[in-house]
Amino acid sequence: MCGICGYISKEHINIEEMNNSISHRGPDNRGTFKNEEIGLGHTRLSILDLSETANQPMVSKDGRYTIVYNGEIYNFKELKEELEKIGTPFKRDSDTEVVLEGFGQWGVELFERLNGMFAFSIYDNQLNKIYIVRDRFGVKPLYYYSKDKNFIFGSEIKALLASEIIEKKLNYQALYEYLHFGTTLGETTFYEHIKKLEPGYYIEYDIEKKDFEIHPYKLNYEITPSTDSFEEALANIREHFEASVKRQLLSDVPVGIFLSGGIDSTAITAYATKHYKGKIKTFSAGFDFDGGDNELPLAKFIANHYGTDHHEMHITGENTISILEEVNHYFDQPFGDPGNIPLYLMSKELKGKEKVILQGDGGDELFAGYHRYIRLHHYKTFKFISKFFFLLQQLIPKDSSKYRGLRFLYALYQKEPSHEMAYILSQEMFDEDPANYFNAEIESRLKKHNPFQRYEYFYNKFKDLDPVNRALYTDMNIILPDLYFEKVDRATMANSLEVRVPFLDNILTEYAMSLPSKYKVQGKEKKYLLKKAFAGIIPDKVLYGPKKGFGVPAHYWLRTSMKDFMLEKIRSSEFYNNDIELLMQEHIENRKDNGAILWKLLNLSLWLKKSGVRL
């Protein structure tokens, strides 16, 4: 796993400075390539082929192509064998070289063949073009900027900003999305002229013409429905998942597992211990802010059951203020999910000790692991009840715990069906538009934009699916890349730690998405298919035990240890006003839980000050 950056420009840009800005992503080696118009940079975290010959930028054997590459290709050995059969020689045992020579053989058709997580750029000096590619699930990030015949790209926004030619202008579409969802969606970023390359797409840039096109190569809704029986599905899920874990154990450095005690990480542990050469390490964490209600005992039971080399991390978050400021530096944009803090702390604990970790992300979105999928399984019933939303709103007091539960009914009450999923996943209450917290000028700018446009786009793609699969497909294309993988990549790569996600294997994912939702949700049981598939492999204590969701007590911190910090930062921000003061006082005095919006406003204030961007 690594970091990449580059530019196409006739202006003076320091590619070394761009590279240095993301050195945390790859401390093992740094390299650059330059000519009169382009620069490519690479920071390396050595995982496969640890030799110096695998350093980058790497040039193809014929000298035509130069690559900077971030990621892991789990089927590179199969691709290598295929290339060797048609006469391609190799110098290294590196997936980078396979991608490079594979592109020389197959061109852009290579991208769909790749099973892995990646973001890379290939320069073709014969056609004078640059190709920039991102994996189909968006596990690895890629940002780009294009203006005034300057094109800049990188693994993180800080690499683009290090070019020192980008105007720091706020994107209000991004701000409005962030206020609703805690992150930006799709190609949007907080910087008006910086965009994310969407998952499953590649850029083809013509250097002579100073122009580019963006093409899809594989999208996560081009799936043919399966006709397999439930029993066939069980067997296939077991087979595909085991193959995925086996593939993702490939490494020239030790591999470990984040073991939470849930079904997903336990399944990874079960198959990893079967195929890993040696005793695999597992890591579980307890925090001083979890109140002792953690999964350490269950994780220890699982580790003993499978015979792993288990390690418990007892992590303190005593200085949450300095931790929050550290995390904000690595994220480059405001991020509203406080779950990045424990992940960052765990990764920091392992920094310099481990390089590769397997984690269970994706299992919930593939196999219906959230409570909302059960509700959507009974969509018609809840849709009928939603007709009485306004009556229930009047009957249930605002300070009642049941009042927040009305948000689901409000989502189904929407006259615009494409807004249902957006409101289900919005972090704010149904009766509050976060734009209203700002002064009239900012509110007006925000309301010129549509924070739900990404959901509208995918609703139109999935409108013929049943409610559960529609939600699963939507989450696969929005929540995973824009929230979870954003969180995972920044928090772990800040500490030079590569996280792999076996549930996001191409073959496994395509098959799981092809299955009917009735296989995944039964009655009130989530992950029905996965539980049945792993029966006898995973202990029943894990399969059918209560799920412990770990909640970061950010709302509590804002009333206690972070209260003064919040007051200082928000009051000194340019968006502060009497309405926001009221939000803070209500929260501090425990009259109303405004923690979600206040956490986002706090992160926004920190970012505005650090970035120099003005509202």
Q: What tokens appear for 360 in the block? A: 């269970």
What pTM, to 2 d.p., does this model score? 0.95
Extended strands (E) in 439-526: 498-500
Angle between helices 320-331 and 340-350 (to 10 degrees): 90
pLDDT of residue 393: 84
> Which uninterrupted H or E stretch holds 363?
helix 363-367
Structure tokens that stand for 34 in this block: 């330059």
So what's the pLDDT on residue 552?
A: 86
Q: Which amino acid is at 440?
A: A
List the one residue out of 197, 173, 118, 244 whose CA is nearest residue 501.
Answer: 244
Domains of the chain: 2-216 (3.60.20.10), 230-366+475-543 (3.40.50.620)
> Tell me, what's the pLDDT at 293?
64
Structure tokens at 234: 């069980």
Q: Which residues contact 527 (CB under 8 A, 6 or more apart)?
A: 263, 363, 364, 367, 368, 369, 520
CA–CA separation, 424 and 408 (whole Å): 6
Alpha-carbon span 150 to 207, nearest angstrom: 10
The sheet carrying 116-124 orders its strands as 58-59, 65-73, 116-124, 129-134, 201-206, 211-216
Q: How far is CA 41 from CA 5, 454, 584, in A?
A: 5, 32, 44
Q: Tokens standing for 432?
A: 């509050």
Spatial contact of 156 and 332, defined as CB atoms under 8 Å apart: yes
If we measure between CA atoms, which residue out of 285, 539, 492, 422 comes closest to residue 484?
Answer: 492
Reduced to 3 states (helix: H, G, I; strand: E, B; else coil), residue 92 is coil
Collapsing DSSP states into helix, strand and coil, what is residue 446?
helix
Q: How many residues does the chain have?
A: 615
Put the strands of the sheet holding 356-358 in their side by side order: 309-315, 281-287, 255-258, 356-358, 498-500
The residues near 135 (Cβ < 8 Å, ≥ 6 apart) are 71, 114, 116, 117, 118, 119, 199, 200
Look at residue 427 in the predicted model and tell me its pLDDT.
64
Would you state the pLDDT for residue 429? 64
In this prediction, residue 549 carries a pLDDT of 59
Block mean pLDDT (10 aa), the chain, length 615: 93 96 95 96 90 90 96 97 94 93 97 97 98 97 96 98 96 97 97 97 97 92 89 98 97 95 96 96 87 82 97 85 94 95 94 96 94 90 88 79 78 85 75 91 97 94 92 94 96 97 96 96 93 96 78 89 96 97 96 93 97 95
User: Are the C-beta atoms of 66 and 125 separated by less than 8 Å?
Assistant: yes
At residue 306, the 3 state secondary structure works out as helix
Name which of 95, 133, 138 is nearest 117 in CA terms.
138
Q: Are 2 and 42 in contact (CB under 8 A)?
A: yes
274 near 374, Cβ under 8 Å? no
Cα 534 to Cα 263, 271, 538, 604: the distances in Å are: 9, 11, 6, 43
Residue 401 is predicted with a pLDDT of: 67
